[in-house]
Structure 1
Amino acid sequence: MKHLGLLTRLIAGIAIGTLIGLSGGFFGIADSAAFVAVVRLFATFTSLFSTFLAFMIPLIILSFITVGLAELGKKANRLFGITLLLAYGTTVCSGFLTFLIGKAFLPGLIRPITGDVLEAAGFSPFFSIEIPPVFGVMTALVLAFVLGIGMANIKGASLLGVCRDLQSIVTAVLGKIIIPLIPVHIAGLFCNIAAEGRLFATVKMFASLYIVILVLQFLYILSQFGLASLVCRKNHFKSLKNVAPAYFTALGTQSSASTIPVALQSAYDNEVDQDVADFCVPLCATINLNGDTICLVLGAMGIMLASGGVPTLATFAPYIMMLGITMVAAPGVPGGGVMAALGLISTMLGFTNPMQQLIIALHFSQDSFGTAANVTGDQALALIVNELDHKNSAEERAR
């Protein structure tokens, strides 16, 4: 299935895992040794994969945030400051607005699921392996900030080179091991859910979250171009037609980085100055992940409600603020947002491994639309930065 797109493989994994899990009850073999062995085999893979993922999360955070902050610092100029502020500000705003909308609608859509539906129960793995992470998630975050900001302010390049090498290794592990195995991991998750009779409640929760997330992502796109229209005093909703190629390219590739060439042409077509576009579009492909933020906030709220918890502003406000920083340095590759955010989700929201697996599945299933929302929002930010640059240049000439 490697030649198929990631979304196709993910859907296939969900379908295959679900069919295997349901086959026990359908054929009346739920108590047979063969059926139990198959489900436990999936449970074993899921356990081992989760353990390895937990080991990699601090390394993902450290490598990407450290290098991201260090390299962003090197590009520091007036355009960088404006772009970074806009990206972080819109990310945090989208996170808080998502929380408010989630508080208004999700309690009516998602009810607490009884019977520990979000926890593994009857089918234990054949064996498990303990692989303690090199350091904790919060240690990785603080260390990344210290090293990244420090390297951005010194002339030495030796440590940055080491961190780039680490980032290359982690990127290879993501691209060659973790992301290709995600569909198998999700197949195991849904096999276990179906075999234990938890499928309907889980699918209902996913459907509700999926619909609300997609609606919010489209509203985010409209709000970004509304903001661009206000700042530029021009109707930039008309500019959306030139952004369509970038949107559909992102929909197909699930990668902001892979969409950069098409996104640059869309910015040129919308009359963004070439020097501004060449700076802003590639930068925003890395630091502006509002589509991911919407999913990671609303998805976390929904899974928390389903597990019997209550999402509160006191819990989610620090999470959203930290998520904004994490998204700035998250890799612009398929699944990069959720992989960078898993540490925050586990430590700040208290998500267990099964709950983390569900948000991974939710994020990957909508990642095409989330990436397309990110790329489209980048175009609006480029229009705003272009207008602010023109105003700044005019003021300098007037002096």
Structure 2
Amino acid sequence: MKIKIGLIWRILIAIGLAVGLGMLFPKIHEGFADWFVRLATTFNMIFGGFLNFVVPLIIIAFIAPGIAKLGKGSGKLLGLATVFAYASTIIAGILAYFTASSLLPNLIGNIGAASVENAGKAPAEAFFEIEMTPIMGVMSALLLAFLLGIGMASIGSKSMLGFFEELNVLIEKVIAFIIIPLLPFHIFGIFLNMTYSGEVARVLSVFAMVFVMIIALHFIMLALQYTVAGSLSGRNPFVLMKKMIPAYLTAIGTQSSAATIPVTLKQTKEAGASNRVTDFTVPLFATIHLSGSTITLVSCSIGVMLMNGMTVEFSSYLPFIFMLGVTMIAAPGVPGGAVMAAVGLLSSMLGFSESMVALMIALYMAQDSFGTATNVTGDGALTLIVDRFTSEAEKVENVAKEQSV
């Protein structure tokens, strides 16, 4: 019987092995330790270069067809759903920013004084360098994706949409069969290098602090969403949240909003949303509503920046949060899709280096299932809100029609 180890466990095993070997090797044979760390660093150089090359393709392949598909729908219902989903994602990001920027500097303490890349020994160097130049910059890819997506939606192009949907599937395969399987080895190399340079204990302590804070923020965001939904629908928000527990637990297990759609549909209808609105909005929200993932990305990125002694400013983060809400549209249905879609923004807007991106991925992956669970559970609340506004709009239209007759 073949035993399948989940991605989270593979990442945790990689971190544990890296820390253990990094502490053990120098005591056995320092020369071999130096060679082994350089070998891991060489792999990281190749993998990091390939990831940077793929990032613009990820942006185009996911955002262009995602925006084009938003052109399909039923008018006001699509507009309401899109506005509420984006607003929820932005609010989640702002909540995460102010919480993380207030708490983490005090929790991390003096960790930010020593850079992750410049502590203890100098980080090991790769045996050789290979340049993998991306076909275009991140911002160019974003602009091109918006232009193509809006254009396809406006002219209703089926042939172009078919091409980009196939490109989307191709890039998903690259992520699922190349990037995700090799990711634990990349993280292994990063943590091995950090252990070698004497910084790993500080980094792991920050991991624990950020993890606890993120989970707390997830529940605060869900409470806020269901308080609004309960107030508008006249229902008890805690009863509504209880109805969505099966969807939350399913998302933790699958780590995919798309895979949880059937359960989310069932539980949202049981919570009182109409069939018409639920059947339209839940699959849509699974693609465009990522409040839990945004909380995680913003919180983790602030933690990584503080570890590296970088300045965290709201004027820099607000544009980043607004872009996250769009960039993560149609993030792939594989674990870690949101952080893969955000890699380009981390580098271009926040100035992340390759090692910082790797730390960010490790932090994100460690609780990806909880972020996904928050996303899909929040979908139920937003569906109830949209259902309420749609019902009111229909009542107004019916009254207007009666008066005109």
TM-score category, normalised to shorter length:
over 0.9
Decide whether the 8 Å contact of 1:119 with 1:354 is kept in 2. no
Question: Residue 364 of structure 1 aligns with which residue?
Answer: 365
More moved, 240-249 vs 144-153: 240-249
More moved, 381-390 vs 141-150: 381-390
Question: Residue 49 of structure 1 aligns with which residue?
Answer: 47
Question: Residue 384 of structure 2 aligns with which residue?
Answer: 383
Output the amino acid matched with 1:66.
Answer: A
Structure 1 residues 109 and 147: alpha-carbon distance in aligned structure 2, compared to 1, 3 A threshold:
same
Structure 1 residues 340 and 77: alpha-carbon distance in aligned structure 2, compared to 1, 3 A threshold:
same
- Compute the TM-score of the two structures, normalised by the length of structure 2: 0.94
1:169-189 deviations in Å (ceiling 9; x for gaps) = 101101111112111211111
Question: Residue 325 of structure 2 aligns with which residue?
Answer: 324
Query: What is the rounded CA distance, in whole Å, between the counterparts of 1:226 and 1:30 in structure 2?
Result: 60
Query: What is the rounded CA distance, in whole Å, between the counterparts of 1:310 and 1:196 in structure 2?
Result: 23
Query: What is the rounded CA distance, in whole Å, between the counterparts of 1:113 and 1:280 in structure 2?
Result: 43
State the secondary structure of the residue aligned to 1:132: coil
Shift of 1:114: 4.3
Decide whether the 8 Å contact of 1:88 with 1:328 is kept in 2. no
1:18-47 deviations in Å (ceiling 9; x for gaps) = 21112124xx13522x22222222212111
- 1:89 partnered with 2:87: yes
Decide whether the 8 Å contact of 1:113 with 1:201 is kept in 2. no
Query: What is the rounded CA distance, in whole Å, between the counterparts of 1:352 and 1:397 in structure 2?
Result: 57
More moved, 129-138 vs 1-10: 1-10
Q: In the TM superposition, what are the counterparts of 1:139-288 in structure 2 within 5 Å? A: 139-288=140-289
Question: Residue 107 of structure 1 aligns with which residue?
Answer: 105
Shift of 1:66: 0.2
Shift of 1:7: 1.2
Structure 1 residues 106 and 7: alpha-carbon distance in aligned structure 2, compared to 1, 3 A threshold:
same
1:183-203 deviations in Å (ceiling 9; x for gaps) = 121111111111221111111
Query: What is the rounded CA distance, in whole Å, between the counterparts of 2:118 and 2:342 in structure 1?
Result: 21
Structure 1 residues 338 and 323: alpha-carbon distance in aligned structure 2, compared to 1, 3 A threshold:
same
Output the amino acid matched with 2:116.
Answer: V
Shift of 1:292: 1.0
Output the amino acid matched with 1:162.
Answer: F
Decide whether the 8 Å contact of 1:285 with 1:332 is kept in 2. no
Shift of 1:148: 0.3
Give the superposed CA RMSD: 1.6
Structure 1 residues 47 and 362: alpha-carbon distance in aligned structure 2, compared to 1, 3 A threshold:
same
Moved over 4 A (4+): none
1:83-111 deviations in Å (ceiling 9; x for gaps) = 10001011111111211112221110123
Question: Residue 294 of structure 2 aligns with which residue?
Answer: 293
1:219-266 deviations in Å (ceiling 9; x for gaps) = 111111111112223213202222111101100111111111111111
For structure 1, which runs of at least 5 residues remain unmatched after alignment? none
Query: What is the rounded CA distance, in whole Å, between the counterparts of 1:220 and 1:307 in structure 2?
Result: 28
For structure 2, which runs of at least 5 residues remain unmatched after alignment? 401-405
Shift of 1:393: 2.2
Query: What is the rounded CA distance, in whole Å, between the counterparts of 1:193 and 1:18 in structure 2?
Result: 8
Query: What is the rounded CA distance, in whole Å, between the counterparts of 1:119 and 1:198 in structure 2?
Result: 9
Question: Residue 66 of structure 2 aligns with which residue?
Answer: 68
Give the aligned length.
396
Output the amino acid matched with 1:69.
Answer: I
More moved, 296-305 vs 367-376: 296-305
Decide whether the 8 Å contact of 2:257 with 2:376 is kept in 1. yes
More moved, 41-50 vs 140-149: 41-50
State the secondary structure of the residue aligned to 2:155: coil
More moved, 137-146 vs 89-98: 89-98
Decide whether the 8 Å contact of 2:114 with 2:308 is kept in 1. no
Query: What is the rounded CA distance, in whole Å, between the counterparts of 2:248 and 2:395 in structure 1?
Result: 33
Decide whether the 8 Å contact of 1:24 with 1:195 is kept in 2. no
Query: What is the rounded CA distance, in whole Å, between the counterparts of 2:46 and 2:75 in structure 1?
Result: 45
Output the amino acid matched with 1:356.
Answer: V
1:297-345 deviations in Å (ceiling 9; x for gaps) = 1111111111111111111111111111213343343111111111111
State the secondary structure of the residue aligned to 2:9: helix
1:152-176 deviations in Å (ceiling 9; x for gaps) = 0003322222211211110110111
Paired residue for 2:57, among 56, 59, 62?
A: 59
Structure 1 residues 311 and 128: alpha-carbon distance in aligned structure 2, compared to 1, 3 A threshold:
same
- 1:29 partnered with 2:16: no
Q: Percent identity?
A: 43
Query: What is the rounded CA distance, in whole Å, between the counterparts of 1:140 and 1:173 in structure 2?
Result: 18
Shift of 1:76: 5.0
Query: What is the rounded CA distance, in whole Å, between the counterparts of 2:192 and 2:7 in structure 1?
Result: 19
Decide whether the 8 Å contact of 2:114 with 2:309 is kept in 1. no
Output the amino acid matched with 2:347.
Answer: S
